Structure 1
Amino acid sequence: MSKIPFNISAADGAARTGEIVFPRGEIRTPAFMPVGTAATVKALTVDQVRQTGADVVLGNVYHLMLRPGAERVAALGGLHHFMRWQRPILTDSGGFQVMSLAALRKLDNDGVTFQSHIDGSTHRLTPERSVEIQRLLGADVTMQLDECVRLPASRDEVERAMRLSLDWAERSKAAFGDQEGRALFGIVQGGDVADLRRGSARGLVDIGFDGYAVGGLAVGEPQDVMLAMLEETVPELPADRPRYLMGVGTPDDILKSVSRGIDMFDCVMPTRAGRHGQAFTRFGKINLKNARFADDPRPLDEESDCPAARDYSRAYLHHLVKCGEILGMTLLSWNNISYYQRLMGGARAAIAERRFAAYAAACVEGWAKGLD
């Protein structure tokens, strides 16, 4: 039995809403976690992130291992104190970098050796070391180390990585032990192969975790394949434990995944788009680089409670983007994180009132209509 309560308050079809309860606070689900890879959500202060309504942020083992170092963060009071975020933090285990930095790593059955993309130094990451780093950081949610495979890939390659990830899951569980007030999540792998997904999920459930993540999706496959894999995986996972779809995604991806029983999401997309002049809104995605906005006095969304969306004209935002001003990146990132949180808040309310399908349809209709 997990020591981290997950209280489901309502369901509408497979979609559900509730709270994951940690000593540092509750995570309201469905939840979107802003990505704070290097102990910062890029371009934003923690006060701005919290103002958007975010309950939890995500940090990354690989990047924090390289700098400033987990032991240093621990000596400075832990990641929450270090970055001045006093609510829950989930830390990714480094498994994504096994895929994304494939040219800079050597993988074996025991773990992975990385060559730093910063200075060329070598760093060894095993399931045990990944858990240790996350303990030193003070993570509320620790993720097992896994191997993520870019799709498309052969069945043999997908199955090898899935079985290695299951072995690492068992080792991660043993290394994690009993940490009061903290959770350990296992990660389902299996690529785009349905029976491997089901087998991975069943294997993780046999080991037993506080929550279950679905990894290795949104890595090259079409959306319909991703959704099909969720439909194969989610029924195999315990209904009373949180389900986390890693690295996803667009607002449309998120709503479709919520309807299939996913509770938690993260993605770099809102802040990355903000740094490149793009705004997510209830009217769809807006490219502020476009010359049509040079004389547009309207805000991004006069109904938003985010100052970045409500208080600055599109003309001014266009000007900032065209000039490469840092303020433009900050305002658009702030708007985007706020929009994602507003989307999730609307989903939670709709599920509670059993009108989620209508809510999702209205969102899609708004994106399709656009600005005008």
Structure 2
Amino acid sequence: MHWQKEAQSGQARAGWLHTRHGSVPTPTFMPVGTVGTVKGITMDNVRATGAGIVLGNTYHLMLRPTAERVQRLGGLHRMMDWPGPILTDSGGFQVMSLGPLRKMDEDGVTFRSHIDGSAHRLTPESSTDIQYKLDATITMAFDECPALPATKEVLAASMQRSMRWAARSREAFIARPGYGQFGIVQGGTEPDLRADSARALRDIGFEGYAIGGLAVGEGQELMFSTLDYTTPLLPEDQPRYLMGVGTPDDLLGAVMRGCDMFDCVMPSRAGRTARAYTERGTLNLRNARFAEDTRPISPDDDSPMAGRYSRAYLHHLFRANEMLGPMLLTLHNLAYYQRLMRQIRAAIIAGTLEQTAAELRQNWAKGDWSEEEYPMPRYHQD
């Protein structure tokens, strides 16, 4: 597995991630398929949005249906009908989020399942083995993601433990052609801790590098300033993955700071709560003003549902609590995220990223299209 740069504009890079399960253009957004499904839609739908790689999760899949069962069923690719690349989160973030349900020591973490309270344990070795059984194209090193805010002493101890766990994860990783493992840079928003973490991971050596511990409530300005000094510490010739981010503006800003890969539940979660991402910002389709709006969501929509469903119909589905509403809006949002990534990538290659970024932000700030800009079709019964 390797990453190949195609073009660069400032710190932003366009490239290709070549894997055993196919090649993916970067920058790329990975839809989140936590338990082997992108919630509410089929993998045919996901493919139709233009997605090239999806994400699964070690913690959830080890609990249900178990990694051993997934392996017996032919691996995650076959089970979920996704022959393309799959990146699996190590489970560290989910386990650390369990609070009093987990107990950490130097070897790993003991925790109780959020499903039935049963006891389980994750270590760098077992997390890596589970991801192997899932047949993950990209395996993530097991790490500790501390809750913020935290003191520098807490962040330093956590980062140092994560680096010891990264070395153990690497030792446990079974190298195969076209597969890879990413280390995760930690250290909160402390520049010296981020530098120490990046140095330790580079000394270990991975096929790619992730930036963890951000998008956890620190705010966009602090996230971007952390990226400003963190991404230059990572190898130029390998992929950089910013974990758990984020809004369209977050993605744009992170690409401009040298990140190549992203995942976030935001577009699918927003789709389930009637929020639509568009070139003119976010629309809440539960609002009464959409009850007789006959326009499709966006004039620029190129999703599989483009032009087929009106805002009024989607408004009705959500007000009637019909499951089709969240399904259609999830599909729309994921397609918008992929369209945004293609637009940013094309601008990097063309050398027009600064201009494109300014236009994107201006349009997001304008809000919904007026009827003069985007006329409303008129219907009547004879």
What's the TM-score once normalised by structure 2's chain length? 0.95
In structure 2, which of residues 85, 94, 97 is the aligned counterpart of residue 97 of structure 1?
94
* Offset of residue 104 of structure 1: 1.5
Query: Aligned partners of 1:235, 1:219: CA distance in 2, in Å?
Result: 22
| SS at 1:308 equivalent | coil
Q: Which residue of 2 aligns with 1:162?
A: 159
1:43-54 maps to which residues of 2 (within 5 A)? 43-54=40-51
Q: Which residue of 1 aligns with 2:350?
A: 353
Q: Which residue of 2 aligns with 1:221?
A: 218
1:203-247 Cα deviation digits (max 9, x unpaired): 100110000000000111011111111111111110000000000
Query: Aligned partners of 1:181, 1:114: CA distance in 2, in Å?
Result: 33
Q: CA RMSD in A?
A: 0.9
In structure 2, which of residues 333, 336, 339 is the aligned counterpart of residue 336 of structure 1?
333
Q: Which residue of 2 aligns with 1:287?
A: 284
**Amino acid of the residue matched to residue 10 of structure 1?**
A
The share of aligned pairs that are identical, in percent, is: 58
Whether contact under 8 Å (2:344, 2:353) holds in the other structure is yes
| SS at 2:305 equivalent | helix
User: Which of 1 and 2 has greater Rg?
Assistant: 2
Greater displacement, 19-28 / 248-257: 19-28
Whether contact under 8 Å (1:308, 1:332) holds in the other structure is no
Q: Is residue 196 from structure 1 mapped to residue 164 from structure 2 by the alignment?
A: no
Q: Which residue of 2 aligns with 1:18?
A: 15
Query: Aligned partners of 2:101, 2:313: CA distance in 1, in Å?
Result: 42
1:258-269 maps to which residues of 2 (within 5 A)? 258-269=255-266
Q: Which residue of 2 aligns with 1:9?
A: 6
| SS at 1:50 equivalent | helix
| SS at 1:317 equivalent | helix
Q: Which residue of 1 aligns with 2:58?
A: 61
* Offset of residue 309 of structure 1: 4.3
What's the TM-score once normalised by structure 1's chain length? 0.98
In structure 1, which of residues 272, 277, 290 is the aligned counterpart of residue 274 of structure 2?
277
Note the residue ranges of structure 2 that are not aligned, 5 or more in a row.
Answer: 371-382
Query: Aligned partners of 1:66, 1:326: CA distance in 2, in Å?
Result: 26
Query: Aligned partners of 1:158, 1:293: CA distance in 2, in Å?
Result: 47
Q: Which runs of 4+ in 1 moved over 3 A?
A: none
Q: Is residue 306 from structure 1 mapped to residue 303 from structure 2 by the alignment?
A: yes
* Offset of residue 156 of structure 1: 1.1
Aligned residue-pair number: 369
Query: Aligned partners of 2:298, 2:220: CA distance in 1, in Å?
Result: 28
Q: Which residue of 1 aligns with 2:293?
A: 296
Greater displacement, 241-250 / 4-13: 4-13
Whether contact under 8 Å (1:105, 1:114) holds in the other structure is yes
* Offset of residue 195 of structure 1: 0.7
Q: Which residue of 1 aligns with 2:245?
A: 248
| SS at 1:296 equivalent | coil
Query: Aligned partners of 2:129, 2:304: CA distance in 1, in Å?
Result: 40
Query: Aligned partners of 1:317, 1:68: CA distance in 2, in Å?
Result: 34
Q: Which residue of 1 aligns with 2:128?
A: 131
Query: Aligned partners of 1:103, 1:267: CA distance in 2, in Å?
Result: 25
| SS at 1:301 equivalent | coil
**Amino acid of the residue matched to residue 345 of structure 1?**
R
Note the residue ranges of structure 1 that are not aligned, 5 or more in a row.
Answer: none
Whether contact under 8 Å (1:9, 1:18) holds in the other structure is yes
